[in-house]
């Protein structure tokens, strides 16, 4: 494949390479797969923005496995289980809406937030949190959630 080599400052034949890389994530050394581009002319490797994103995601996922932090897909699955959107679920959990949106998009949660969201997988836990905070919701949101809970 052809691409711009930042060292040669010209379009060159570029190979995609993957290798294991160590990074520090929240004070813990994590080894994960990283992706780089290799210029076949000068022999130097570099990473594009997409490759840096790939590497960061892999590092975060290894950290999640090691520290038992919830994955974004699990957050989405739990939220959808109760028929809620991000804004409503964040209100029920007493989390900032923007932060919750970021968690679903891959930002690492704290251990406490991870535990809270994981606990919502059990309907009895969700119901307690819902009852505590349903005064923050519209009647439409309440009815939609109740219809999911009582299915």
pLDDT band of residue 34 (cuts 50, 70, 90) is: very high
pLDDT bucket at 133, cuts 50 / 70 / 90: very high
Beta-carbon contacts of residue 71 (< 8 Å; ≥ 6 apart):
61, 64
pLDDT given at position 40? 96
Q: Say yes or no to pLDDT of 30 above 80.
A: yes
**Residue 16: domain span:** 2-67
- Tell whether 45 and 97 lie within a shared domain: no
pLDDT tier for residue 12 given thresholds of 50, 70 and 90: very high
The answer on 141 and 84 residing in a single domain is yes
Residue 63 pLDDT greater than 90, yes or no? yes
- The answer on pLDDT for 130 being more than 90 is yes
**Residues near 62 by beta carbon (within 8 Å), at least 6 away in sequence:** 30, 31, 32
pLDDT of residue 105: 96
Give the pLDDT confidence score for residue 149 in this predicted structure: 81
Instruction: Give yes or no: residues 35 and 79 share one domain.
Output: no
15 and 54 in a common domain: yes
Query: Considering 41, 67, 93, which residue would you say is the last residue of a domain?
Result: 67
Is the pLDDT reported for residue 53 higher than 90? Answer: yes
**Spatial contact of 19 and 36, defined as CB atoms under 8 Å apart:** yes
**pLDDT-derived band at 73, boundaries 50, 70, 90:** very high
Give just the sign of the alpha carbon dihedral 87, 91, 97, 100. Answer: negative
pTM attached to this predicted model: 0.86
> Quick one: pLDDT band at residue 150, thresholds 50, 70, 90?
confident
Tally of domains within the chain? 2
Q: Are residues 53 and 10 in the same domain?
A: yes
């Amino acid at each position: 494949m052809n691409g711009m080599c930042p060292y040669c400052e010209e379009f060159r034949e570029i190979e995609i390479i993957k290798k294991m890389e160590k990074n520090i994530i929240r004070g813990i050394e994590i080894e994960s797969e990283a992706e780089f581009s290799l210029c076949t002319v000068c022999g130097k490797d570099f990473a594009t923005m997409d490759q840096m994103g790939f590497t960061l995601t892999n590092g975060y996922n290894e950290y999640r496995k090691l520290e038992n932090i919830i994955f974004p897909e699990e957050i989405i699955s739990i939220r959808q289980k109760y028929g809620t959107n991000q804004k409503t679920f964040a209100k029920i959990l007493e989390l900032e809406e923007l932060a919750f949106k970021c968690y679903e998009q891959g930002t690492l949660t704290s251990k406490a937030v991870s535990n809270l969201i994981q606990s919502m997988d059990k309907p009895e836990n969700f119901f307690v949190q819902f009852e505590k905070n349903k005064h923050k919701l519209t009647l439409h949101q309440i009815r939609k959630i109740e219809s999911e809970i009582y299915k």
